[in-house]
Chains A and B, each alone.
Chain A
């Protein structure tokens, strides 16, 4: 799990990113990095639920399998992304100054390696 932690830290190097976590499709937190006042386990449940709902919407619109969800709030943004070849979701939270493009690039860059460590 040390390798997982190291890779999760790569995401928090992107400006504004405050949380990076891995969540199973069942909604359980596998590992994560975030501020002390953030309940990562609660976030894991919400992230898996959002992903499930997104998946359901994908079925409705005949959109195929879901890969990624982006949610933009007034103060923060969230990217929930499926990792390749595993039933695991990567969950990233950024402050309002975070660059979503940079986060998505970071997911592309480290996602496969992260999958292989699981």
Chain B
């Protein structure tokens, strides 16, 4: 599928293209990997959280709600603000919470949108969600990413999966 077709199929906006291509550009220098994106997105998430706080627009989390309810609200908030993907869902397990995105509907994928030539993944969402959530979650509800095959996400059968749990 050509880039132009992706723009139409995914209904991409200019910010999607800017961010995904910016990340993807590092693949040409040989320095793009999931671990590098994770480190970078930790810093991005902090800035983004402080931006929304400055704008008095923050996720409606409650101290007396459990971490899954609060994390769900935070992910929905991020998705609303950033328009992460057209098709996604949040699945609560017993102790984990999984964020699933239909791969070809993701708006910030450095591979799908940015067309990074990369064997592995370079998803910005695992570290973005983790750090953004931890900025707002109460101390007792801080989260971490659950590794899947040593990676911070899993891409399988057209679905990208990121799993979080309470630390």
List B131-167 residues whose CB lies under 8 Å from chain A. Answer: 147, 150-152
List B12-35 residues whose CB lies under 8 Å from chain A. Answer: 28-35
Q: Is A20 an interface residue (CB 8 A)?
A: no
Interface SS of chain B: helix, strand, loop or mixed? loop
Listed A/B pairs (7) with beta-carbon separation below 8 Å: A27-B34, A28-B34, A44-B35, A45-B33, A52-B31, A53-B29, A53-B31
Report A-chain residues with C-beta under 8 Å of the C-beta of B36. Answer: 27, 45, 48-49
Which B-chain residue is minimally distant from A45 (CB atoms)? B35
List A1-42 residues whose CB lies under 8 Å from chain B. Answer: 24-28, 30, 42
Nearest CB on B from A30, distance (A): 6
A49-B33, A52-B33 are contacts. A24–B150 as well, Cβ < 8 Å? yes
Assess the B35–A30 pair: CB atoms within 8 A. no
Assess the B30–A26 pair: CB atoms within 8 A. no
Assess the A28–B150 pair: CB atoms within 8 A. yes
Nearest CB on A from B106, distance (A): 18
Interface SS of chain A: helix, strand, loop or mixed? helix
Nearest CB on A from B44, distance (A): 15
Residues of A within 8 A of B (CB): 24-28, 30, 42, 44-45, 48-49, 52-57, 87
CB within 8 Å: A-B pair count? 51
Assess the A26–B121 pair: CB atoms within 8 A. yes
Which A-chain residue is minimally distant from B28 (CB atoms)? A56
Assess the A53–B35 pair: CB atoms within 8 A. no
Task: Give complex CA distance A87, B39 in Å.
Answer: 21
Assess the B31–A25 pair: CB atoms within 8 A. no
A27-B36, A48-B35, A49-B36 are contacts. A56–B150 as well, Cβ < 8 Å? no
Report A-chain residues with C-beta under 8 Å of the C-beta of B28. Answer: 56
Report B-chain residues with C-beta under 8 Å of the C-beta of A25. Answer: 33, 119-120
Assess the A56–B29 pair: CB atoms within 8 A. yes
Report A-chain residues with C-beta under 8 Å of the C-beta of B32. Answer: 52
Nearest first, the 3 A-B pairs at minimum CB distance are A27-B35, A56-B30, A52-B30
Report B-chain residues with C-beta under 8 Å of the C-beta of A49. Answer: 31, 33, 36
Report B-chain residues with C-beta under 8 Å of the C-beta of A56. Answer: 28-31
Nearest CB on A from B155, distance (A): 12
Give the residue among A30, A42, A44, A45 with the most B Cβ atoms within 10 A: A45
Nearest CB on B from A112, distance (A): 21
Which A-chain residue is minimally distant from B35 (CB atoms)? A27
